[in-house]
Chains A and B, each alone.
Chain A
């Protein structure tokens, strides 16, 4: 290995003695390549990702409608207003509810389905194709389809009316039900992604391990409990992380199906940000709300990675 790499120009500069002119030239050339390769992406990343983040922190200290000069400095007033706002705290609670239901209901059921499909159920590719399909349909298509199904005289209510005449449920118009109705659609849309990851992880478990357990007399339930689940645990931890972050930032389906209503019953932090920051030209306030969302996600990510995912990240370079 060492012999081979020492032939590459890059390795020459490791030599302790004065580098010969040719090697120096090639290391300049190498630096040039690195610069050339990194520059375009760095530029785009800085302008459209990094700078807006910094600006969000700066704008959040002002009362600003986005048009006039930025001069009405209000300090932390915007953050105070957000924390005092019952609509925003309700929105935060809705995000937490979505998170709890995603982790407590959607992921376990999806894992169960993945275990049922298992490694070699004949026709599993066919089912996978169906189960994953909603994931590639856009949130807007999904939202409009389900708004249609949820309408007062739509598919679900007509079915219910056959069973109990005159019975009608306002799935999206009732403040008590709207969040649950939308969560159901989120399950429909996103479970396929988690399923694909679980099925792939289960497929990676070597046959010999299950074989050995079976020969030792383990029941199928014991195999699931003591072999399958521990061996896909890192995938479970990852899907929990992704679902939680997604829940904290959720916007699309809610905007399409209920626009946060009725009377803010399905408002999330992101729809709040859109309504109160963008629609009503409160750029300073909206930036503060954006920063709060970021801090919540950031603290969650740090804690989750420290406490739960540290094992999985070791060796990937992600924490180097």
Chain B
């Protein structure tokens, strides 16, 4: 009886000690949270002001909500077009990346053959190549293939440069699926393809989601590559659309802030929904990569 009580008394003292330590810890967290959130809130608040209100008193809340900033952007159509372009590029990139990264990840995880490690390391070597190093030859190559000013000129290099890290992460996930399942497939007369397609991929769905969502963020935010290969404004993805809009309305901050707010909405909504997968993908890649 006494033995059972003792730890609980220690625990209670421990809890008390911890609670008194909580306040400064929360204070730090709140300060950092404000540091993160103030720029975002400022953007949102400024988007319903007029530009003269912004420059006059940046902290003041708007006296009336100026939704006309939004209506002007939504009616003009450039915003919708760049959102649509970004969706096309991102969805194609992720779909193609998963489609062609899963099979090699399977081979590298579960189908040993002579020379496999060499091929795997050559591919991993690609992790060290800074994208910047290759952009000029890449641009020349895309031009020779007549792909400049098409979505493919963004999609294909994005997939190619995404392959090393995606294959690496998927290989680690695929390795963890128990050997017994694979053996059972073969005993039942299935082939490697059966195992890959019917057992492994369905089981790996959470890891596919993690990897897919990470590359989704990368593609959605990619800036340098579209900047180089997309000259036609009708093809601009969202980052290019924002740059262009800011260039055209550089003095009208309220309008620019409304455009930014609209651009943040899809990213933040996606983030709140996908946070778990994104963080799972990042930590898996970091811990094992």
Contact = CB atoms under 8 A, between A and B. Distances in A.
Say what secondary structure dominates the interface of chain B.
helix
A290 interface: yes
Contacts of A278: 135-136, 139, 228
A148 B256 contact: yes
Interface stretch (A34-42, A100-108, A174-182): A34-42
Contacts of A291: 133
Interface in A259-302: 269-270, 273-274, 277-278, 283, 286-287, 290-291, 293-294, 297-298, 301
A115 to B, nearest CB: 10
A129 to B, nearest CB: 6
Nearest to B228: A278
A90 interface: no
Contact of A149 (B39, B139, B180, B228): B39
Contact of A10 (B100, B111, B141, B263): B111
B267 A138 contact: yes
Interface in A125-156: 127-134, 136-141, 144-146, 148-149, 151, 153-155
A205 interface: no
A184 to B, nearest CB: 10
Interface string B173-189: 00000011011001100
Interface in A184-214: 188, 192-193, 196-197, 200-201
A31 B104 CA distance: 13
Contacts of B279: 128, 132, 196, 200
A197 B285 CA distance: 10
Contacts of A273: 132, 135-136
B161 A4 contact: no
B121 A320 contact: yes
A155 B60 CA distance: 11
Contacts of A153: 55, 58
Contacts of A47: 141, 160
Scoring B160, B179, B183, B275 by chain A CB atoms within 10 A of each residue's CB, the highest score goes to B160
A121 B25 contact: yes
Given A44-B163, A51-B141, A200-B279, A133 B186 contact: no
B242 A140 contact: yes
A145 B58 CA distance: 13
Contacts of B164: 45
Interface in A102-122: 113, 116-118, 121-122
Interface stretch (A79-87, A164-172, A222-230, A246-254): A246-254
B208 to A, nearest CB: 15
Contact of B192 (A33, A128, A146, A256): A33
Contacts of B104: 37-38, 41-42
- Interface size class on chain B is 35 or more
A117 B159 CA distance: 36
A131 B126 contact: no
B137 A287 contact: yes
Contact of A121 (B29, B58, B59, B289): B29
Given A44-B100, A132-B275, A155-B59, A33 B193 contact: yes
A53 B103 contact: no
A71 interface: no
B79 interface: no
A7 interface: yes
A131 B36 contact: yes
A318 B124 contact: yes
A297 B221 CA distance: 23
Contact of B133 (A50, A128, A129, A293): A293
A77 interface: no
A5 B140 contact: no
A277 B43 contact: no
B234 interface: no
A117 B29 CA distance: 8
A294 B106 contact: no
16 contacts: A31-B113, A33-B192, A37-B104, A41-B101, A47-B160, A51-B141, A52-B137, A52-B138, A130-B37, A132-B271, A136-B267, A136-B270, A138-B267, A197-B282, A278-B139, A316-B288
Ranked 9 nearest A-B pairs via Cβ = A37-B103, A48-B160, A138-B221, A55-B137, A52-B134, A52-B137, A290-B133, A140-B239, A294-B133
Given A55-B137, A136-B278, A155-B58, 14 more contacts: A38-B103, A52-B137, A56-B136, A113-B28, A132-B275, A140-B243, A141-B242, A148-B42, A193-B282, A196-B279, A200-B286, A249-B131, A274-B224, A320-B120
